[in-house]
Amino acid sequence: MNLNYIAPIIVEGEKVVEILPEDVPKDDMKWAPSVVVYAVGVTQSIGAMKRFIVGQGSFSVKPMVLYHSNGYFVVRFANEEERDKVLCAGPHYLLKRHEILTTIPLWIKLPNLPLNCWNSVVLSKIHSSLGKPLYTDECTTQASRISFARILIEMDVTRPLPKMIKIRDLKERVLEQQILYEWKLMFCQKCLQMGHSCVDKPKVVPTKRDQGQGQRKEWRPTTLGDKHHEKQTEQQYDPGLEVVA
């Protein structure tokens, strides 16, 4: 590409490169149909990643796979529809193998947190006892919603998620702060996989109602001595059972 000289601005006697909004819209559109791919475990070769991406479906244009020296890939598709088709079809496993993920980001809420605690230092201290704090949402940052503070934090899902945390305030009082999770991920301690749990599954015990269902009692004609007493055959069902036509 051809380059031109564009004079930098001077701020307090120093040269500063100023990037304006109109300088980047074309590149924003260029990279919009792209995804960042990180393979958990051993970093795959760019050839293996290309073969994997191409195998995810049919594309109008072959996706471009780029490798970054920090260990991740950028895959650029022809359009956002083809990007979303691959992105939403996950999770994806390369070479039919997967790593055991134990730490994921979770949104949590702290209801009725004192307003003087809504700053980066206190929130960092609180959430560092739970995991690795990442950031707050905009309403928490601006304190525009004061019923609860909302924070994204990386937590170890292999352990029971705490429902409260103890905080010592300025008056040396130890307070219990409730913790609410917007979403909890199930982790199977037996399979060491996310999304299900096959440990201590409750056994289904048939109830008395279920045991009686389908059984039928029938009155049959009986003989008393030399006299035959005919009776109409009638069906008697266990009480409480529904009859479905």
pLDDT in tens, 87-97: 887 777 776 65
Identity of the residue numbered 100: I
Residue 107 domain-assigned (yes or no) = yes
pTM tops 0.85, yes or no? no
| pLDDT the model gives residue 199 | 63
Alpha helix (H) residue ranges in the chain = 25-31, 46-54, 80-87, 120-128, 138-142, 208-212
Q: Does the pLDDT at position 112 exceed 90?
A: yes
For residues 91 and 136, state if they share a domain.
Answer: no
pLDDT bin (cut points 50, 70, 90) of residue 118 is very high
Torsion of Cα atoms, 43 then 46 then 48 then 49, to 10°: 80
pLDDT bin (cut points 50, 70, 90) of residue 185 is low
127 phi, psi to nearest 5 deg: -80, -15
Say whether 199 sits in a helix, a strand or coil.
coil
Final residue belonging to a domain, choices 194, 216, 232: 194
The DSSP code sequence of 40-89 is: SSSPPPHHHHHHHHHTT---SSPPEEEE-TTS-EEEE-SSHHHHHHHHTT
Residue 117 domain-assigned (yes or no) = yes
For residues 22 and 86, state if they share a domain.
Answer: yes
